[in-house]
Structure 1
């Protein structure tokens, strides 16, 4: 296990580790199998991931002495719904799951969020284990305990905090990812540096596109997870500092909400959102235009979009984007909350942004 990086998430009696690197699943051994006293693993995945990874993962788990009973659901955000939650809970009960057994989530963020929520509410709480198959899920949604589904009011408006017992971020599971998906996941890595680790950003900036290669990627993944773990340990339920992890997301979610399905990737929207957050900070005089320009240049260097016009959509309307931001979950007292920056690695929370000024800024960005 010497090649596997171990990142602890310190939450007292709910603490767990994230194993990072190629072969992490095979290396997990007894650390994984102790969560399955009946010798079988109930595993939730979507049909796309099943076609790519289920056979290999089942074989590796069999070598550890576990029989896999898979629960397959449709791929895509539409599965993160009340109907999808009901289907997974019923499938777990059909398999006569016991409270001593953990449930495995094998897939991207949709599967992790859905499975975690289902585990939290089935028989008043089952343990679950994350085996994320996308870079985005490895560095973001698999760590921190946020689970949930989408409602007609927006993404993740129903859910609970339910921490996993183990996260296995195996680089071997990323080999089938299209390059676009890999770059999209990288947005959540650089986000950590932009929030609170300027030296990390310097390293990422120096590596450029090469940061997505091999061992260098493992190190970046572990660093991003370690940063998030520190934030989660300090503020598990997002009552304060954890809100910083939403850098770029208020802008990004508004962009996602305006486009047709699958027109842009979440990480692409977040990348543009982070560039906008720095550009808006510079517009207000909170940070230098040089720092905003560095963020934009680095995102483009790794192949990510950094401006709204670089996204695959043509009919952006500034007022509609601001209206979307007005409906964000982080807002309080009817005011828009944004994560902004005083510089690279110096993010802060503004709980009452001047909406008229924000609209003017968005109009300038789209002019």
Structure 2
């Protein structure tokens, strides 16, 4: 039985005057109002969520806010990656303005990464910047997209190409809500958990190899995995908030993964973000092997773990087929991590030894993609 009064795990994101806490533990949505009121007394709120999350969790959050004396309105958008669009952004902005919220009031994204990115972006531009509190309801959002202040939407040119850096005031990661996720959604989020071990925490990756089933089952291992992931991201964000250096390491697997999402038209029936990242991480390790940077054993170990938890690891795992290598390279070239046309990848010298590789020759990427498409 979960103890709603137990102290949650806490991770601090240290950014001077803009520092904030990540609270992690079961049943935190019921305590959200009290946690917000203690930090931001007298605020009003707009909750932004999607139709699926609203059905499961909106009433809990609304009740918690009401108990704390926080007046709140709700803005409900369509589920799915396609809501990260200019059209839906306009809906959210209009909803916030219709509620007559002021700059000192708050926006609360209640949902996964799509809602967090969308509503966080809206809070960053309405009245030239409002407060916001992340209430992530997916594993991916709890360990990645809700932390660090990246917000944005997609365009026809690629993923997350329009947005702002805008830090939240608080992140409330209720681990119990993850029990309402489908197995596919939970696995997709787990890809981001594994990523932190693969970047620079080999001991964490080894722990995950032994404990992943307990993480999936819930309980203390789940809280531990989320807290470790959030601490890893908080440490990087504190060093490099605006992604001018080390923070780019958090994109391990994402350059390939974002290209796959664009190639599938952001169709979540075919591929969701975490699945793209899983394939991307496997590709990054295999590419590193092809470039003689890492041992094939490391690539095989990474692929074996991702496959063990049920994640895709190969281009052939994407249903419906993919365009050719040259078209995939075009999507990669649209990625934000391209600088003046030079391709930048996060590559590795082994498990937990990732690094930023700049000026990767296009010919090598094209050759690798051609081989990967045939596997």
Please confirm whether the aligned pair reaches a TM-score higher than 0.5, indicating the same fold: yes
C-alpha distance in structure 2 between counterparts of 1:355 and 1:209, whole Å = 39
Deviations for 1:159-216, whole angstroms, at most 9, x for unmatched residues? 1100000000101221211000000000000001100101001101122433322121
C-alpha distance in structure 2 between counterparts of 1:76 and 1:36, whole Å = 31
The CA deviation at 1:79 is 2.2
Q: Residue 140 of structure 1 aligns with which residue?
A: 144
Matches within 5 A, 1:264-279: 264-279=271-286
Query: How many residues align structurally?
Result: 367
Q: Residue 200 of structure 2 aligns with which residue?
A: 196
Q: Residue 101 of structure 2 aligns with which residue?
A: 97
Query: What is the aligned-residue RMSD (CA, Å)?
Result: 1.6
The runs of 5 or more residues in structure 2 that have no matched partner are none
Q: Does 262-271 or 57-66 show the bigger shift?
A: 57-66
| Residue 285 of structure 2 is aligned to residue 259 of structure 1 | no
C-alpha distance in structure 2 between counterparts of 1:204 and 1:37, whole Å = 39
The CA deviation at 1:40 is 3.9
User: Could you state the TM-score of these two structures normalised by the residue count of structure 2?
Assistant: 0.94
Q: Secondary structure at the match of 2:271?
A: coil
Which of the residues 92, 110, 114 maps onto 2:114?
110
Which of the residues 9, 12, 20 maps onto 1:8?
12
Contact 2:190–2:274, Cα closer than 8 Å, also in 1: yes
The CA deviation at 1:67 is 3.5
Q: Residue 224 of structure 1 aligns with which residue?
A: 229
Q: Residue 122 of structure 1 aligns with which residue?
A: 126
Q: Residue 365 of structure 1 aligns with which residue?
A: 372
Q: Does 251-260 or 22-31 show the bigger shift?
A: 22-31
The CA deviation at 1:71 is 1.5
Contact 2:294–2:349, Cα closer than 8 Å, also in 1: yes
Matches within 5 A, 1:1-367: 2-28=6-32, 30-34=34-38, 37-38=41-42, 40-214=44-218, 215-260=220-265, 261-262=267-268, 263-367=270-374
C-alpha distance in structure 2 between counterparts of 1:206 and 1:241, whole Å = 28
Q: Does 270-279 or 148-157 show the bigger shift?
A: 148-157
